[in-house]
Amino acid sequence: MKNLKQRLKNGETLHGCWLNLGSSLTAEIVGLAGFDWVLIDLEHGAGTEKDVLAQLQALESTPAGVIVRVESAESQRIHRVLDMGAEGIMCPKVNSPEEARKVVSGLHYPPHGHRGVAKMVRATQFAQNFDSYYQNSRENLLGVVQIETAEVLNHLDEVANIDGVDVLFIGPADLSMELGIFGQFDHPMFKEAVQNTIAAAQKAGKATGILFFNPEEYHNYHQLGIRLIACGADATFVANGARAMAQKLAEMRGKGDSGF
């Protein structure tokens, strides 16, 4: 465990990015780059549950903690990636307190949830460390719910006050789409939604998170109080690097070959 939950409780700002290629190699490269955390994306990413294990193994020796975004709050989706060793779960499009409670229930063992007990799994070092894992799981496992629908904006205080919801994570693309202002992150409606989310989280003593792709946006969101910050993705890094190199070589070709 990389202590993401405790570090957020201590008020740290944690920097991360998305992993959406389903590749253990890009996961390891990104994990070694200096991020505090990474998110393996099973909602929109190219990988499947089968690929999560290899990515978790690749990230084990890096400084980055690992959150997995599951496709839904169905308990089987949550249980499987936790058993593989994920440090946290992110669930998309949580609409209501009931859905948020379902996420939390899948995250924790009874009596605090209904996570199934399996000792012979990677998370417990294949039964060698089950007792410690079980006793400390509530303090270690991070529960992240995404604020990206118009409906959940009516329930922010209720969701934030649920024990086990540790982070309200704003999804700008989906939230702006739901509000009918897609991509207009300076629109008053979007700004109000962000501010209300942060206020609800702060009142409940919880953290707020957000994903963006332009690092110039960092200070704006950080000054508002957002502390779980993601910028970019492995696919973006590869694509940007490839385009930059191709463009550079094209420019050199255009200048002609003067030889030595």
Question: Is 155 marked active-site?
Answer: no
CB 39 within 8 A of CB 101: no
Question: Is there a domain that residue 28 lies in?
Answer: yes
- The predicted-structure confidence for 215-259, as pLDDT tens digits, reads as follows 999 999 999 999 999 999 999 999 999 999 999 999 999 887 665
Nearest Cα to Cα of residue 190 among 182, 144, 232: 182
How far apart are alpha carbons 190 and 170 in whole angstroms? 11
Question: Structural domain of residue 193, as residue ranges?
Answer: 4-250
Q: Would you say residue 171 lies in a domain?
A: yes
The sign of the torsion formed by the CA atoms of 121, 4, 114, 98 equals negative
Q: Which pLDDT does position 256 carry in this prediction?
A: 75
Q: Is residue 258 part of a domain?
A: no
* pLDDT tens-place string over residues 171-205: 999 999 999 999 999 999 999 999 999 999 999 99
240 is a domain residue: yes
CATH number at residue 136: 3.20.20.60
Contact indicator for 12, 37 with CB cutoff of 8 Å: no
31: phi then psi, degrees, rounded to nearest 5: -60, -30
pLDDT at 19: 98
What's the pLDDT at 1?
84
Measure the CA–CA gap between 244 and 39, rounded to whole angstroms. Answer: 25
- At 257 the pLDDT is 64
Which candidate, 156, 203, 149, 153, places its Cα nearest to that of 173?
149
| CA distance linking residue 36 with residue 229, whole number of Å | 10
Region 153-176 average pLDDT: 98
pLDDT tens figures, 9-25: 999 999 999 999 999 99
Catalytic residue (one of 44, 79, 155, 187): 44
Q: What is the mean pLDDT of the chain?
A: 96
Question: Measured in whole angstroms, how far is the alpha carbon of residue 80 from the centre of its chain?
Answer: 17
Which pLDDT does position 258 carry in this prediction?
61
Residue 255 counted as domain residue: no
At residue 214, the pLDDT reads: 93
Contact call for residues 224 and 200 (beta carbons, < 8 A): no
Q: Could you tell me if residue 256 is inside a domain?
A: no
41: in domain:
yes
Judged by DSSP in three states, 61 sits in coil
Per residue, the 3-state secondary structure of 173-215, as one string, reads HHHHHHCCCCCCCCCHHHHHHHHHHHHHHHHCCCEEEEEECCH
User: What pLDDT shows up at residue 255?
Assistant: 85
Tell me the two tokens of residue 215.
């690092």
Domain total of the chain: 1
Residue 260 lies in a domain: no
> What is the distance between the terminal CA atoms of the chain, rounded to a whole angstrom?
54
Which pLDDT score is estimated for 42? Answer: 97
